[in-house]
Amino acid sequence: MSPTDHVSAVLAGAAARQDQLLPALHAIQDQLGFVPPDALPAIAAAFNLSRAEVHGVITFYHYFRTTPPARHVVQICRAESCQSMGGDALLAHAEAALGCKLHAHSADGQFALAPVFCLGQCAVSPAIMVNDAVHARVTPGRFDTLIAKAREAA
Ligand code: FES
Per-residue pLDDT band for 92 (boundaries 50, 70, 90) equals very high
For the CA of 80, the nearest atom of ligand 1: 1
Is the domain of 78 the same as that of 47?
no
pLDDT in tens, 4-40: 888 999 999 888 888 999 999 999 999 999 999 999 9
14 with 77, same domain: the answer is no
Domain extent, residue 19, equals 3-60
- Interatomic CA distance for residues 96 and 113, integer angstroms: 11
Residue 21 confidence (pLDDT): 96
Is 8 within a domain? yes
Residues 33 and 82 occupy one common structural domain: no
Specify the number of domains making up the chain.
2
- Ligand 1, atom nearest to 87 Cα: 2
Cβ(127)–Cβ(115) under 8 Å? Answer: no
| Contact assessment for residue 64 and residue 79, using Cβ atoms and an 8 Å cutoff | no
User: Hey, is 44 helix, strand or coil?
Assistant: helix
Assess whether 53 and 121 both reside in one domain.
Answer: no
41 within a domain of the structure (yes/no): yes
Quick check: helix, strand or coil at residue 1? coil
> pLDDT tens digits for 42-76?
999 999 999 999 999 999 998 899 988 899 999 99
Q: Is the CB of 75 under 6 A from ligand 1?
A: no
Amino acid identity for residue 101 in this structure: K
Residue type, 18: Q
The residues pairing with 27 across neighbouring beta strands, listed in sequence order, are: none
Arithmetic mean of pLDDT, 125-146: 97
